[in-house]
Structure 1
């Protein structure tokens, strides 16, 4: 799990600071260029980042299953009141489920870019000044 998490963090930093977004490439290089590392572009590294995230999620589930007795025993020692135990468990489960499921139900704001407007035109204008 530690190796997987380290790879996820490293690839995240790689995409943020080395294989920068299109807007930042315009600012730095003054034109639209594509950046590669080991023959892969930013989107391909992003896909690897996602796959490693799913692998980490699977490892985490396996870790919880294998250590379930320890988890429940520690939980019982920390929280003595049965109603409080149930309440905290239910709230925790609901919050986790919401954080996982909500992205599938939200819709992005959609805005049509008019000719002569948008990020690239603004960047080119800012670079010339």
Structure 2
């Protein structure tokens, strides 16, 4: 398969994954019931509990991240060319700074979510 076809497939799957994440996020926030019933089974939405929906949301989120990485790899030449154009001679340092900062933000977010 050529690069353009991979970009098309990746872009389409990114759209589907993002749309799914958005819809599930709104459902988890506003439509899917919280808590459980006294002495009974937890409430369900379309046959799945809130935790089942949250697990599905998490799996789609991981898929989205993987697809985003593939998309960046497929477009890496454009990323480098645009970085050179907009950032000049220090484009490599700027990309490293942005990448390192983002990893640090994600890691700190993970750490703080554990407490």
Shorter chain as normaliser: what TM range?
0.7 to 0.9
Higher relative contact order (CA 8 A, sep 6+): 1
Contact 2:43 2:49 in 1 (8 A): yes
Larger radius of gyration: 1
1:74 aligns with 2:86: no
Post-superposition shift, 1:104? 4.1
Choose which of 101, 111, 115 in structure 2 pairs with 1:105: 111
Deviations 1:27-74 (A, max 9, x none): xxxx75833122101110000000000000000010011110011111
For 2:45 and 2:81, the matched residues in 1 are separated by: 47
Pairwise CA RMSD of aligned residues? Answer: 2.1
Give SS of 1:79's match: helix
**Residue 40 of structure 1 aligns with which residue?**
48
Choose which of 26, 29, 43 in structure 2 pairs with 1:16: 29
Greater share of residues in helix: 2
For 1:20 and 1:38, the matched residues in 2 are separated by: 11
* Structure 1 unaligned residues grouped into runs of 5+: 26-30, 109-129
TM (normalized to structure 1)?
0.67
TM (normalized to structure 2)?
0.74
* Structure 2 unaligned residues grouped into runs of 5+: 1-13
Post-superposition shift, 1:75? 1.1
